[in-house]
Structure 1
Amino acid sequence: MTYTTLTIEREGRVATVTLNRPDVRNAFNETTIAEMKQAFSELGDDAGLRAIVLAANGPAFCAGADLNWMKKMAGYTHAENHADALQLAEMLRTIYLCPKPVVAKVQGDCYAGGMGLVAACDIIVAVEEANFCLSEVKLGLIPATISPYVIKAMGENASRRYFLTAERFGAQEALRIGFAHEVVSAEALDAKVAEIVKALVNNSPNAVQQAKVLVREASGQAVNDALLADTAERIAQIRASDQGREGVASFLEKRKPAWLN
């Protein structure tokens, strides 16, 4: 597929997907949504990859929905609006369910739907200068399609405030409420992302994938007999897996595991 709103670069076992519409602050439209879904679907299935970085070109990470796209939506019927919203929802789900770990590299402001893109990622690194805003209610709208991911990322309490007030908040506040994992200077952004990616690449690819699924499926579950049985089954299966056996053997034998060769 030829991409017109994204660039995709590969270096070794890492792919970087870059939003590339700096003239509109990387706001997304229906083309961006389709291309993002395709890109993460293909990269997620690529056995040669260990990690994906989601980045953006220009001073802003993502301003949310493109104004021209919003103008088109203003004339949509209910059915057309529903179908359009489902496309965005499916794109976000593709990122969230991607088998590869995804690191968001937030180099600038991140608003509205842009926060949904970031929240669907696994690890979020932002520069100190970045601002965040869930601005939908200012326009008479709600952050509906992005809400499952944003609420998971920042929690119900913070979501209640920022969904309702549409206040802009800075990177340190994003860190405090748990939306961002790391906040660094602009000069340190590349190095911090590289450090995290290196840690991901050095780990067992199968274990990283299964750990991502574990967090997603165990989160919020009651600690009952069913959960105990489920988690016991997961560890039993991965202990018996090729990479599970290799990881333990390499540790005991004080050598590098095969997946690092």
Structure 2
Amino acid sequence: MSESLIIVQRGPTRFITMNRADRHNAFDDLLIAELTEAFQAAIDDADSRIIVLDATGKSFSAGADLNWMKRMAEYDHAQNLADSRALAKLMQTIDSAPKPVIGVVQGSAYGGGVGLAACCDMVVCADSASFCLSEVKLGLIPAVISPYVVRAIGGRAARRYFQTAETFSAAKAAELGLVSEVVPLDQLTEVRDRWIKALSANGPKAMEAAKELAVRAAEQELNDDLRDWTAGRIATIRASDEGREGVRAFLEKRKAGWIGG
């Protein structure tokens, strides 16, 4: 059993909680490996339809752990590359999860912590939280997390915050698109549970397809290929068992089969 993570299943929701409050939930190679394994297990578990990523303590994640950084300072290029690839695998696993991922940011998120938030599908954030892409202060760059952060906040803002390492507020994070909602700390659970309730009412396979749709439509040029692909996707979904059940349930004014209770 990991001491760095708390993993709990409640109904259709898998809660993955970073539990290194004494270290501000900072990354090291062990936490990266355990987070990757935990997310993959949630993805593979048919009973887990929603994933929540949160953290204990005052900080969401302070980025790289100091002791890990001390070890990395002695690494050669090959060892650094292996470490970076492990972090890249974690980010890709969260970002590409075929299930909705909710991020709950209760405190500061620095460096890789910003990357974690950027990989979630939706993030609720405490109004007291702060964010910083602090790597250049150490003579480094936010390389591995950059594709996800740039996609979340846009290239123009990334040019600024990647270079200045300014700390920005929760309100600014919402303005940039990094977080979805900003609320007082004591309302985080309320928003999280509202999202869980909304997601639980939806077709699991439809949500997976909708996530893929959102990513591809945002990244691909609007052309005949994209139009043909979207037409094909809705045709496939309409003809699927879940699609047929959802429409029948709506017309018959009953709950769809995937909704419990």
Q: Identity of paired residues, percent? A: 52
Q: 1:202 Cα deviation (Å)?
A: 0.9
Q: 1:40 Cα deviation (Å)?
A: 0.4
For 2:88 and 2:4, locate their aligned partners in 1 and report how far apart those are by CA, in whole Å.
Answer: 18
Structure-2 residue corresponding to 1:90: 89
Tell me whether 1:105 sits opposite 2:117 in the alignment.
Answer: no
Q: Which amino acid is the alignment partner of residue 238 of structure 2?
A: R
Conserved 8 A contact 1:22-1:60: yes
Structure-1 residue corresponding to 2:42: 43
Q: 1:240 Cα deviation (Å)?
A: 0.4
Q: 1:139 Cα deviation (Å)?
A: 0.5
Q: Which amino acid is the alignment partner of residue 27 of structure 1?
A: A
Structure-2 residue corresponding to 1:73: 72
Deviations 1:25-80 (A, max 9, x none): 00010000000110000101111112111000001100000000000000110111
| 1:1-261 superposed matches below 5 A | 2-261=1-260
For 1:82 and 1:220, locate their aligned partners in 2 and report how far apart those are by CA, in whole Å.
Answer: 27
Query: Once superposed, which parts of structure 1, at least 4 consecutive aligned residues long, lie more than 3 Å away?
Result: none
Deviations 1:74-123 (A, max 9, x none): 01101111111000000110111111110000000010011111111110
Q: Which amino acid is the alignment partner of residue 127 of structure 2?
A: E
TM-score by length of 2: 0.98
Conserved 8 A contact 1:45-1:99: no
Aligned residues between the structures: 260
- CA root-mean-square deviation: 0.8
Conserved 8 A contact 2:117-2:179: no
Q: 1:220 Cα deviation (Å)?
A: 2.4
Structure 1 gap ranges (5+)? none
Structure 2 gap ranges (5+)? none
For 2:104 and 2:84, locate their aligned partners in 1 and report how far apart those are by CA, in whole Å.
Answer: 25
For 1:165 and 1:9, locate their aligned partners in 2 and report how far apart those are by CA, in whole Å.
Answer: 38
For 2:25 and 2:219, locate their aligned partners in 1 and report how far apart those are by CA, in whole Å.
Answer: 34
TM-score by length of 1: 0.98
Conserved 8 A contact 1:44-1:100: yes
For 2:235 and 2:183, locate their aligned partners in 1 and report how far apart those are by CA, in whole Å.
Answer: 39
Conserved 8 A contact 2:27-2:65: yes
Q: Which amino acid is the alignment partner of residue 259 of structure 1?
A: W
Q: Which amino acid is the alignment partner of residue 204 of structure 2?
A: P
For 2:149 and 2:24, locate their aligned partners in 1 and report how far apart those are by CA, in whole Å.
Answer: 21
Q: Which amino acid is the alignment partner of residue 149 of structure 1?
A: Y
Q: 1:3 Cα deviation (Å)?
A: 2.0
Name the SS of the counterpart of 1:256 in structure 2: coil
Q: Which amino acid is the alignment partner of residue 209 of structure 2?
A: Q
Q: Which amino acid is the alignment partner of residue 118 of structure 1?
A: A
For 1:251 and 1:195, locate their aligned partners in 2 and report how far apart those are by CA, in whole Å.
Answer: 22
For 1:252 and 1:33, locate their aligned partners in 2 and report how far apart those are by CA, in whole Å.
Answer: 46
Conserved 8 A contact 1:125-1:181: yes
